[in-house]
Chain A
Amino acid sequence: MGFLDSIFGGKSKLSGPAPDRLFAMTTAQVHLETALGLKHRQTAGIVFQALGTADFSAIMAEAEQLLRGTAEETGTLLHSSDDEFGYRWLVLEDPDFEDLVVSLNTVSSELQDGGYGDRLLACVFAFEERDDRAQPAEPAASPKGRTVYLIYNFKRGAFYPFVPAGEKSRDTERELRLKAQIGSELPIEADTARWFPLWEIPL
């Protein structure tokens, strides 16, 4: 099939999500906090393409309703926003990290069951890095410490680190170090050409 695909101009379908490895994050989080001192920011997000179709809207409404239903027990807060590139973010807030992962999984499985798994882009987890050993050369970090993101790429079924360092630049050194630190806990994207930045993450 592959050869014919390449002759006839590619697959006629968008590739769907890879086998789900999202839950690897729950165990990795423990390691991040205890061994590396990275505390989760009690928030996580999922980003996808919101299609302008009635069917898609109905499935999204259903997913949100489901989340709000469970939110009453877990206390998860939920808000959504559209970014300037036309992608929708659902941002969840919960002090319990496992609840965050479960809620993200609810959204992604709702979309997949509805036949829109190929629209899922990524899940984003935010961690706070306290600058204990702040390098003097670095411009003064915010007093809260900076945010380190772990991004889960649905198409690849793998995570990668994203450490923004100011306006549209990233701290690649820190990202590579993070990869070495958590590589044994998380399936990390091997190809650094696919460590796509996501600017202006709303969490």
Chain B
Amino acid sequence: MGFTMFLLGLLYVGLVVALLAAGTGAALMLVIVGALSLSQLFLSDKLALSAMGAKEVSPEEAPGLHAMIDRLCIQADLPKPRIAVADTDVPNAFALGRSQKKATVCATTGIMRILTPQELEGVMAHELAHVKNRDVLIMTIASFFASVAAMIMQFGFFFGGGHSDDDDNPSFLVVLLVSAVVYVISYFLMLTLSRYREFSADRGAALVTGRPSALSAALMKISGAMQQVPTQDLREAERMNAFFIIPASVKGSLKSLFATHPPMEKRIERLSELEAQLQRPAVGA
């Protein structure tokens, strides 16, 4: 974990140095991407909710879900987030929002149908753990430099070609090269970071509910159900993967490297370790 963060940090420092060396054009780009990232941070929750067809629900509309989250918030010492429900059969849940005060947690009607109350509680506690850990903010910041790099690369590919006859600007090529390297590496490091944060959200959920096994059961049930729902829904849902409790589809032989979430077996293994810890007497442990 520490090594991942170290590598990410190193990359970004390298990128910034390269950008500064390249001069004003690059600095302008940094500002543009900064503005884009900020607006993403401020608008993404609304966009994501509407992309999922999710609607905020009042305590009157979803009394059970509200009451469950009320209790989890007391236990997790969090202010009450907004609660939304998406009307889809895809059994999933996600958390959005840049801060604890502005958070929204969303469950689909599918997940509420297939899980028992205890399992659903585990899943909602996992989402609240993301809120508590400020994961949306951290992943946005972590992706900031990756976006900068991606933009420079695109910029370079679109406009760089026209300048190939005047070769007195080699620094731009350097920036392009650095950006490409930064982009590729930071992409994988970010996925690693995301997987770590999934583990810690699982752990947080298990601590808050005191029922690691209920979350395990929920994860197994959801991943089982994931294969049964129509594929069109799955593809629609795919771009939301990073926010989901379980990604909508896993493909490719390099899946563990490309995955935003750790493999299911690892998550369940960690949860069962927690359950074992919990079964031991608390005092002296």
* Chain A residues positioned under 8 Å from B2 (CB to CB): 8
| Residues on B with beta carbons closer than 8 Å to the beta carbon of A199 | 63, 67
Residue B192, interface by CB 8 Å: no
Contact of B200 with A9 in the complex, beta carbons under 8 Å: yes
Q: Which of A52-60, A68-76, A93-101 lies at the binding interface? A: A52-60
Q: Spot the interface stretch: A22-30, A116-124, A135-143, A179-187.
A: A116-124
- Chain B residues with CB under 8 Å of A85's CB are 67-68, 71, 117, 121
A196-B67 Cα distance, complex, nearest whole Å: 9
Contact with A along B68-82 (1 / 0, CB 8 A): 101101111101100
Tell me the complex Cα distance, A9–B201, Å.
7
A residues near B67, Cβ cutoff 8 Å: 85, 197-199
Instruction: Say which one of B36-44, B238-246, B275-283 lies at the interface with A.
Output: B275-283
Residue in contact with B199 in the complex, picked from A9, A155, A156, CB distance below 8 Å:
A9
Q: Which of A87, A115, A122, A193 contacts B79 (CB 8 A)?
A: A193
CB distance from B10 to the nearest CB of A (A): 15
Interface size on B, residues (CB 8 A): 46
Q: Is the CB of B77 within 8 A of A10?
A: no
In the complex, what distance in Å separates the CA atom of A98 from the CA atom of B6?
Answer: 56
**Most chain A C-beta atoms within 10 Å of own C-beta, residue among B67, B68, B74, B199:** B74
Interface of B, secondary structure class, is: helix
Interface segment out of the listed A11-19, A34-42, A126-134: A11-19
Is A49 on the interface with B (CB-CB < 8 A)? Answer: yes
Known A-B contacts A10-B132, A197-B70; A155 and B77 likewise in contact (beta carbons under 8 Å): yes
Interface string of A103-121 (1 = CB under 8 A from B): 0000000000111101101
Residues facing A in B47-106 (CB within 8 A) are 59-60, 63, 67-68, 70-71, 73-77, 79-80, 101
How many A residues, CB 8 Å from partner? 40
The answer to whether A122 and B74 have CB atoms under 8 Å apart is yes
C-alpha spacing A96/B67, complex, angstroms = 31
Residue of A nearest to B197 (CB): A9
Chain B nearest CB: distance from A146 CB in Å? Answer: 19
User: Which of the residues B60, B71, B200 comes within 8 Å of A87, measured between beta carbons?
Assistant: B71
Q: Does A168 contact B (CB under 8 A)?
A: yes
Chain B residue at minimal CB-CB distance from A121: B74
Q: In the complex, what residues of B have CB within 8 A of residue A15's CB? A: 77
Asked if A13 and B60 make an inter-chain contact with CB atoms under 8 angstroms apart, the answer reads no
Most buried by B among A52, A191, A196: A196
Nearest-Cβ distance from residue B155 to partner chain A, whole angstroms: 30
Specify the main secondary structure of chain A where it touches its partner.
loop
| Chain A neighbourhood of B211, CB < 8 A | 52, 86
Name the CB-closest residue of A to B101.
A193
Which residues from 181 to 199 on chain B have a C-beta closer than 8 Å to any C-beta of chain A? Answer: 196-197, 199
Chain A contacts with B in 144-195, Cβ cutoff 8 A: 153, 155-156, 168-169, 191, 193-194
- Whether A198 pairs with B70 at a CB distance below 8 angstroms is yes
Cβ-based interface call for B151 (8 A): no
Contacts of A116 in B (CB 8 A): 282
A1 at the interface (CB under 8 A from B): no
Contact status A155-B75, CB under 8 Å: yes
Q: B117 to A6, Cβ gap below 8 A?
A: no
B21 contacts A by Cβ under 8 Å: no
Contact of A114 (CB < 8 Å), options: B76, B138, B283: B283
Instruction: Give chain B residues whose Cβ lies under 8 Å from the Cβ of A53.
Output: 278-279
Asked if B256 is an interface residue, CB under 8 A from chain A, the answer is: no
B281 touching A55 by the CB < 8 A rule? yes
Compute how far the CA of A85 lies from the CA of B120 in the bound complex, rounded to whole angstroms: 10
Q: Is the CB of B133 within 8 A of A6?
A: yes
Query: Chain A's nearest CB lies how many Å from the CB of B82?
Result: 11
| A-facing residues in B201-253 (Cβ within 8 Å) | 201, 203-204, 207-211
Q: Which listed residue, B60, B68, B199, B203, touches A168 by the CB 8 Å rule?
A: B60
Identify 14 new A-B residue pairs, CB closer than 8 A, beyond the known A9-B201, A87-B71, A196-B74.
A8-B1, A9-B135, A9-B204, A10-B133, A10-B200, A49-B209, A85-B71, A115-B281, A116-B282, A121-B74, A194-B79, A198-B70, A199-B63, A199-B67
A-B contact pairs, 18 of them (CB 8 A): A9-B135, A9-B196, A9-B199, A9-B204, A10-B201, A10-B204, A49-B75, A51-B278, A53-B278, A54-B279, A55-B282, A56-B282, A114-B283, A121-B71, A155-B74, A169-B59, A193-B79, A193-B101
